[in-house]
Amino acid sequence: MTFLSIQARRTIRAHFHFLKKRQVSTESVEQGKRWAAIKAIRHVIDSQPSVIGLGSGTTIVYAIDELKKHKIAQDVVCIPTSFQTRQLILANNLKLGSLEQYPRIDVTVDGADEIDPKLNAIKGGGACLFQERLVAKASRRFVLVADERKRSSQLGTKWKRGVPVEVVPMALSPIQYTLEEMFPDALIRLRISQSSDKAGPVVTDNGNFILDCHFGPIQNPDLLYKEIKSLTGVLDVGLFCNMADTAYIGHLESDSGDVLSVSDLIKQ
């Protein structure tokens, strides 16, 4: 069994377990994610990019699987947003690059935990938010892929695990205290590892902790991002506002989906 098989299966198996508890059809969810990833990659490679950023999570497994089927995969450089994505790139014999080598990326494809009508998103459910933002900010285009469960009329209404805030360990208690003062109605909790092999808090690739902040429906995600990001000790906040230009949303009950773009929103 290849490393890719182990890595991909572990990621998707954990996600299947979560879905089972939620009583959601895993087959239909995976179909939606697969559609979004395949459509996004096919449209992206039409522009003949030289450098592609690849995000984190289960949907990106499908994106990488689609990318390697095309001739462009022999030449395009792939920039990962996490250690897991880095290993998937290598295991699929794609060209691995870094921001040090390629400070400008043509397009980045990444997943999301929730997407609103303006293509603002909550990201960071996999604790890779800072590196995801770094790669997205270095990109000329930023494309989101997700199944239709992630589409909502307002951030904070469907994603119930909170907005992730990455905090340096030394600042954990002061930041949690400050957030609880700033948002007395919010539930602020340190993210604890759910793995049976590891006890204690989730540690990011950067060696930091995650505070999951449950605000309920978010009226102004951009303002909320700026307020929290301004706190000393906060590395990043999982609100990605005014960044994505396109979102591919796969339907659950059919092999189809929607393509949403900022340009269409502006025309409206």
Domain with residue 196: its CATH number is 3.30.70.260
pLDDT in tens, 165-176: 999 999 999 999
Residue 52: name the closest of 120, 105, 98, 118 by CA. 105
Q: What is the pLDDT of residue 1?
A: 38
pLDDT cut 70: percent of the chain above it: 88
13 plus 56 within the same structural domain: yes
Element holding 167 (H helix, E strand) = strand 163-167
145 plus 189 within the same structural domain: no
Residues identified as active-site: 132
C-alpha to C-alpha distances, 162 to 44, 57, 159, 211, 212, nearest whole angstrom? 31, 17, 7, 9, 5
Structural contact between residues 117 and 265, judged by C-beta atoms closer than 8 angstroms: yes
pLDDT in tens, 146-198: 999 999 999 999 999 999 999 999 999 999 999 999 999 999 999 998 776 66
pLDDT in tens, 42-97: 999 999 999 999 999 889 999 999 999 999 999 999 999 999 999 999 999 999 99
pLDDT in tens, 110-142: 999 999 999 999 999 999 999 999 999 999 999
229 plus 188 within the same structural domain: yes
pTM here is 0.87
261: how many CB neighbours lie within 10 A of its CB? 14
The mean pLDDT value for 11-22 works out to 51
Name the least confident of 7-11, 194-198, 244-248. 7-11
59 plus 176 within the same structural domain: no
Number of domains in the chain: 2
C-alpha to C-alpha distances, 84 to 6, 11, 119, 183, 199, nearest whole angstrom? 11, 9, 25, 34, 20
Burial of 219 (0-12, 13-18, 19+ CB in 10 A): exposed
Residue 83: name the closest of 74, 96, 70, 71 by CA. 96
Domain that holds residue 220: 163-236
93 plus 173 within the same structural domain: no
Tokens representing 191 are 């993210």
